[in-house]
Amino acid sequence: MHASHIGEHLSGAEQLVSFAELQTQAVALLQRALGHERGCADTVHITIDPVAHSELVLGRLPALANRICDGVAPARQLAVRLLETAGVDCIAARTAIEALACGAAPGQRVMRGAMLIDASSGVRLEADQARGVRVSRLGIAAQLRSELEVIVSEAGLEAARVSEALVLAAKVQYCPDIVAELCWSDDPSYLSGYVAAQQTYTRLTPLKATGDPRGGRAFFVRPGADLGALTSYLEHSPFLVTDLGTVAEDIRIFSRA
């Protein structure tokens, strides 16, 4: 689903679902498009593509860590440290944070997808700086989806949002040429984000100030990676989470950074 208002991106979402779930999920995506905090959509595109079972790549969720920081600056500093530990150059990490904080698309707008950033040089590599790379064809097995949503909401977090971010991070982390991911929401009232690297999804709060409508994603790419193959994997390869990993235990622990 892609929703926009007067040509400006409002929200997007993707789901990999069984045929039986198609109608309910399509309606749920439409409701999401029409009830978005960033504004009311005037144009909504819902695209449905077939996926063969034999094409599916199966994966598990990363481990989860929850870090509460004293403010935006310390949270962003911690993000830089985590990225450096994962092998991202400090300059590249700072470049990404700066871009997300200012609006990474031309005209300081929010991108529809993610930036690709060379993990060593910090150079932006995506072909289209407004669209970026959009991770698609990803999902979680239906039974696990309900299980995960219960786990997340019992921890006091937003079930759909956190579940979707975990699934997306799992697909991105599965790509050997992506060293790490940085994300925070473009929804003005949602202040948490994460760094995903080395099989761990570290939630960081707050990565931005209340009311800030900017956010986005950065994928840090191993120098010399085949960008065509990497983009094709992210956008087209169907990826299904079939293992929740340790998220049920991890999610209860919040630690002050």
- Which residues of this protein are in contact with ligand WAQ, per CB under 6 A? 12, 14, 110-111, 113-114, 134-135, 157, 161-162, 165, 168, 183, 185-187, 190, 192-194, 203, 215-217
The interface partner of residue 165, options being ligand WAQ, Mg ion, none and the CB cut-off 5 to 8 Å by kind, is ligand WAQ
CB of 177 vs Mg ion, minimal distance in Å: 26
Asked if residue 164 binds Mg ion (CB under 5 A), the reply is no
Nearest approach, Cβ of residue 187 and Mg ion (Å): 5
Question: CB of residue 110 vs ligand WAQ: minimum separation in angstroms?
Answer: 5
Nearest CA-CA partner of 247 in 136, 153, 142:
153
Beta-carbon contacts of 156 under 8 Å, excluding residues fewer than 6 positions away, are none
First to last CA, the chain: 36
Give the range of 2-10, 39-47, 186-194, 233-241 binding Mg ion by CB under 5 A: 186-194
Least CB distance from residue 185 to Mg ion, whole Å?
5
Which neighbouring-strand residues pair with 220?
117, 180
Size of the site for Mg ion (CB under 5 A): 2
Inter-axis angle of helices 159-173 and 142-154, nearest 10: 120
147 neighbors 140 (Cβ within 8 angstroms): no
Please pick, from the candidates 164, 186, 212, 250, the single residue that binds Mg ion as defined by CB under 5 A.
186
Provide, rounded to whole angstroms, the least separation between the CB of residue 142 and Mg ion.
Answer: 24
Phi first, then psi: what are they for 85, rounded to 5°? -60, -30
Residue showing tokens 């999804």? 201
Select from ligand WAQ, Mg ion, none the partner in contact with residue 113, using the beta carbon and a kind-dependent cut-off of 5 to 8 Å. ligand WAQ
Sole binder of Mg ion in the list 68, 129, 187, 222 (CB under 5 A): 187
Q: Which is nearer to Mg ion, 36 or 81 (CB)?
A: 36
Transcribe 160-217 into DSSP letters: HHHHHHHHHHHHHHTSTTEEEEEEE--STT---EEEEETTEEEEEE-SS-TT----EE
Footprint of Mg ion on this chain (CB under 5 A)? Answer: 186-187
